Structure formats: structure tokens, C-alpha cells
Amino acid sequence: MAAIIQGIGAATALTSPNSLDIKKSFLSISPRSLSVRKGSSFVVSSDGRLSYGLNGRGGRAEHFITNAVAAKEDTAAASTSSKPGHELLLFEALREGLEEEMDRDPTVCVMGEDVGHYGGSYKVTKGLAPKYGDLRVLDTPIAENSFTGMGIGAAMTGLRPVVEGMNMGFLLLAFNQISNNCGMLHYTSGGQFKIPIVIRGPGGVGRQLGAEHSQRLESYFQSIPGIQMVACSTPYNAKGLMKAAIRSDNPVILFEHVLLYNLKERIQDEEYVLNLEEAEMVRPGEHVTILTYSRMRYHVMQAAKTLVNKGYDPEVIDIRSLKPFDLYTIGKSVKKTHRVLIVEECMRTGGIGASLTAAITENFHDYLDAPIVCLSSQDVPTPYAGTLENWTVVQPPQIVTAVEQLCQ
């Protein structure tokens, strides 16, 4: 099937940006998926600043900070409006990175359900179809196994496809293609084939999306040989990781959190590409190393404010690279603080935290003054009920308690 789109690169030059008669207006992201629960509001910016308010009823939010995600209205934006660069929401940063790479390299193409004229379920590909044409932005049937396999075949023939899963949970239908072909063909072909493919899409616990649409598939894919995995958490690293993943000759899975798409940040105008295997130092500290990624970065930064007020000095690292781990950055921190707390949204059994715990124990055991603590989501299907959904995910007060116990 890869032969179907083998001529994408050549066809691009013949496709006029105005050759498609497409509606200029696109449907926006569902208001329901971005709304804040009645009775509470919460805004967090990419640097961890937050504010929240409650109505007069009860004090549950003092124990649970629900909806710890970004909102379009960011009060910090006004103070940074005069700074150089430009402001983008996270989904816009992903689009900008993808568009820059499509401009730079005619072999880059996109495929997936509704990625074309609809612009993607979260508008990451909005506007790309009229610009690049239907061959480079290919709408596919609802057949994840088929179009993922087609993308892998296209990568074998020299293209650089970006395959979007409308929801990461749907990519379980393509697990055979990802594991037996995507990760192994470079090895099983004796190096004759490279598989420069990016597989990306939204995942994580949303806002009452139900169990099937709240999957965290990091733990599913981490054991596949030959696959790299990264998770974005800010507009800046979303764009940089997208560009790096497209340029990589290895298959890369880019995990995006469904509740972070509207996170706003000012990023530089100049082009940049991040290292796919490098962690980010979010907050330097001395007392304990907190390792996290994706949405949990904001839960951790919220907890860090409370910890600082209590006299603790946590060091926060966004590991970003889920496979392989950046053991240099992690090890340097462990040797300084001698205590490690891992905070993840992935399941506890067989999750990223379990693998990270094993890696730290094997490499830096002699530097630890206390056992590694890992806070993970509970091993249950994510409930639809909002209250129960919050109980299954790590909350900031749990992080504060864990650090207090670690530092005793």
C-alpha cells in the first residue's frame, strides 16, 4: 500500500496551494472538552504559575485540584506580551513545527482520520490540506491497522510520514504494525530499510472521556525494541520535539496530553530543534529529585510551591524522553539530592515509573539515602464519573505528603 503514496513528494510541486476548494472555517475543539467544572476554575501556565477559585460550597478543592490543565485565558500572558517571540497554544506549536518541516522537506507527509479538510480532531493539522494538497495530507478510513501499516511502508520507500491517531487508545488496533514492523524492520532487514516515521496523538486522562478514551499507552509501547518515545508538556518542547521526531531516522512515538492542547507559552521566532533523548530541568533544588512528564509536570509544580513554603527545596525534572531515559541528567540530580520521587499518570504496574525505578536502582543505588517512591495512577479503568476520575490520578497533596515522608 505504500506505493499508493509513493509519489507524494513529486506531486507536491504540482499542487497549487489554492487548487482545493475548501471551507475556510473549521470546527473548533468541543467546548465540553475544555470547560471547567461547575464550582471551580483552574488555570496553570507553562512555568507552573496557577490560580484557582471556588464557589461557596465545601472545600473539596483544598484536597483535590481538579482540571489541573491550561486554559486559553492566561493572566501571565499580558506581562510577557512585550517580550520577543510569539505566543502559541500547544496544539498550534505542534502545527507550526509540522508545517515548518513540510516546507523544508517535501518527503514529509501526514495521514490519519480527519487530518485533512477537517483539520484533525484537535486542530493540529488545520490548514495544511489546502496548502499541501490531498496527497501530502491524506485523510484515511477508520482503519488504524491499515493506515499505520501504510505509513510504515511509505517510510521504507523514502518518505517521512507523520501518522496521527485520533486518540492514542485507538492505536491499540495498530499494535501489530507498530511492534512487528515499525520497531523491527530496520533490524530484520539487515539495515536495508530505515523507518523514519512519527506516530502521534492525544492520550491521557481527559475530563470524563471514559475508560477507552483515557488510555496511557506509554507502558504498552516501551518494551518494543527499536522505538523511541517522547512526551511533550509545553508549547516550546512540543514544537521542538515534533521537528526532531520528523528528522529522526528512527520511528518515534510522540505522546500528547489531551488536556494540555490549550496551554499557552511564548516561544522564540528563530528555528530550533530539541534533542529527543534529553530531559529538561524545570526547577533546580537540593532536597529531593522529582521526576515527571506530560500533565503531571503541572501537578508537581503546584506541589512544589507548597513544599517551598514548608521549607523544602525540590528539584523537578521533566524527563520528556520516555525511551531511552536521559540517565545523565537524572543521575546528576540523584547524586546531588540522594532522594527520588517519580510522579506519573501512567498505570503503576509495568508503567514508565517502574522502568525508571529499575534504571535508577541499577545505576545509582549507592547514591540513594532513601527508597525510591513512585506515585502512579491506580490500576483500574478510568471511571467516567468526575469525582472518581480524580481519585485515580495523582494529585498535588499526595506529592507534598510523599516528599515530606521522603525527607524525614
**For residue range 373-393, what is the model confidence (pLDDT) as tens digits?**
999 998 888 899 988 998 999
d(C-alpha 209, C-alpha 17), whole Å? 37
What pLDDT score was predicted for residue 70? 38
d(C-alpha 115, C-alpha 26), whole Å? 12
d(C-alpha 12, C-alpha 22), whole Å? 18
Model confidence band, residue 131 (pLDDT cutoffs 50, 70, 90): very high
What pLDDT score was predicted for residue 256? 96
Q: Among 40-44, 98-102, 325-329, 403-407, whose mean pLDDT is lowest?
A: 40-44
Q: What domains sit in the chain, N to C, each tagged with a CATH number?
A: 86-268 (3.40.50.970), 280-407 (3.40.50.920)
Q: What is the arithmetic mean of pLDDT over 276-290?
A: 97
What pLDDT score was predicted for residue 169? 87
d(C-alpha 169, C-alpha 213), whole Å? 6
Residue 74, pLDDT > 50, answer no
- The closest alpha carbon to 132, from 152, 151, 108, belongs to 108
3-state secondary structure of 32: helix
Average pLDDT over all residues of the chain: 83
Give the residue ranges of DSSP H helices in 326-395: 327-337, 352-364, 386-392
Q: What is the arithmetic mean of pLDDT over 315-320?
A: 98
Residue 323, pLDDT > 70, answer yes
Name residue 124's amino acid. V
C-alpha cell at 394: 495523582
DSSP string, 107-145: TEEEEETT-SSS--TTSTTTTHHHHH-TTTEEE--S-HH
Q: What is the arithmetic mean of pLDDT over 62-68?
A: 38
- Active-site residues, by number, are 144, 213
pLDDT tens, residue by residue, 248-273: 999 999 999 999 999 999 999 999 99
Residue 303, pLDDT > 60, answer yes
Residue 49, pLDDT > 70, answer no
Residue 352, pLDDT > 60, answer yes
Residue 280, pLDDT > 60, answer yes
Lookup result for grid cell 517551598? 308
Model confidence band, residue 81 (pLDDT cutoffs 50, 70, 90): low
